[in-house]
Structure 1
Amino acid sequence: MKKVISILIVTLFFCFSQEANAQVGSAFPDMEAESLTNEFVDLPSDISGKYSLIGLAYSKKAEDYLKGWFEPVYNQFIYKNPNPGPFDFSFDINTYFVPMFTGAKRPAYKKVMNKLKKTIDQRMQPNVLFYKGTLKEYKDALNFDGKDLPYFYVLNPEGKIVYTTSGRYTQRKMQEITDAVRSAMELE
């Protein structure tokens, strides 16, 4: 009975979410990216097996908004409290922020990467991935059209999108992401 109620809640949550797009339920497209620690990650194949949160940005303005998500996402999903309290809920999910270097921006890839290595907290560096390549297949598959916005995707362990949102950080959006992850994990 509890599982049926959880399924209904998740279904209603996704149906009535203003941010949910048509791509919910589809597979996240393959993407090879490089972390600030110079490790290559193939999304979603290298991160399969557990839930993931992926943030994408493909313009300078969107990248600036993406950075506004770093601290709250780090605190919610990445940081592991060494002395958790009785009411702390710990998440075990993959979390990545991905600036996308496409078109004329591709030559700036390494320069920007080296600059960010010096400015981004070392604890966050494994979670910041750089993509260099084309944009069209991602725009088509992920239905993003506002170049000045970052886009966020919650993936299930099989790499399918279970929730999506976009834009600047707000507490409401962060809570919706947290609720989506928690609800999806409870269904397992």
Structure 2
Amino acid sequence: MKYSILLLIVFSSVLVKAQVGKQFPAMEAETVEDKKVKLPDDVKGKYTLLGLAYSKKSEDELNSWFQPVFEKFIQKTTGVLAGFSYDVNVYFVPMFTGVNAAATGTAKRKAIKNIDPQLLPYILFYRGELKPYKEALDFEKKDIPYFFVLDATGKIVYATSGKYTADKMDKVEEVME
């Protein structure tokens, strides 16, 4: 039993690391105001943190990252700490595929109603095929979110998955520095 758990942990980390060094695949998503954002083209020029989720359960874990990421990378610092803020792009991307694609409009309306307005500009909604992203990004477990740090050219320089932890955030921050 211990061997199979260890093997699962090692295998999971290998899968997540498999994307590092690859270009992030082209994806067109929308803001709550229906503005189109093309990833990675529209974020080139600076580091970008992307969080992707393609099931309700993974969306819940994606949400665990909202506040810590907002505080670390989005919220503008003032006073003595003003020089220590990051100049990075951040997007959380719930993915609506298959029959769930029809729910994108409903999800946008719920987001407007339930999510802090300061976070809304950082949420993109993807509607379309899942298969190309599952293949390119090696994400098979639908119940967890996946996070990718892209460099200024759109290349994946770090990848992780799952619920927020301080250790994961430290690694993300380390890569962006």
User: Fold match, TM over 0.5?
Assistant: yes
Q: In the alignment, what sits opposite 1:60?
A: 56
Q: In the alignment, what sits opposite 1:22?
A: 18
Q: Cα distance 1:84–1:146, how it changes in 2: closer, same or farther (>3 A)?
A: farther
* Displacement after TM superposition at 1:84 (Å): 3.5
The answer as to whether partners of 1:19 and 1:165 remain within 8 angstroms in 2 is no
Whole-angstrom CA distance in 2 between matches of 1:71 and 1:24 = 25
Amino acid at match of 2:57: K
2:29 is paired with a residue whose SS is strand
Amino acid at match of 1:150: P
The answer as to whether partners of 1:19 and 1:166 remain within 8 angstroms in 2 is no
Runs of 4+ in 1 over 3 A off after TM superposition: 17-20
Q: In structure 2, list runs of 5 or more residues that go unmatched.
A: 1-12
Of 106, 117, 139 in structure 1, the residue corresponding to residue 101 of structure 2 is 106
Q: Cα distance 1:140–1:19, how it changes in 2: closer, same or farther (>3 A)?
A: closer
Whole-angstrom CA distance in 2 between matches of 1:179 and 1:21 = 16
Q: Identical aligned pairs, as a percentage? A: 51
- What is the RMSD of the two structures over their aligned residues, measured on CA atoms? 1.5
Indicate yes or no: 2:158 matched with 1:156.
no
Matches within 5 A, 1:1-16: none
Whole-angstrom CA distance in 2 between matches of 1:73 and 1:82 = 17
Q: In structure 1, list runs of 5 or more residues that go unmatched.
A: 1-16, 183-188
1:99 is paired with a residue whose SS is strand
Q: In the alignment, what sits opposite 2:8?
A: none
| TM-score (structure 2 length as normaliser) | 0.89
Whole-angstrom CA distance in 2 between matches of 1:94 and 1:116 = 20
Of 36, 44, 49 in structure 2, the residue corresponding to residue 48 of structure 1 is 44
2:92 is paired with a residue whose SS is strand
Question: Alpha-carbon deviations, 1:12-46, whole Å to 9, x = none?
Answer: xxxxx778511101100000001123321000001
Q: In the alignment, what sits opposite 2:34?
A: 38
* Displacement after TM superposition at 1:115 (Å): 1.0
The answer as to whether partners of 1:35 and 1:130 remain within 8 angstroms in 2 is yes
1:71 is paired with a residue whose SS is helix
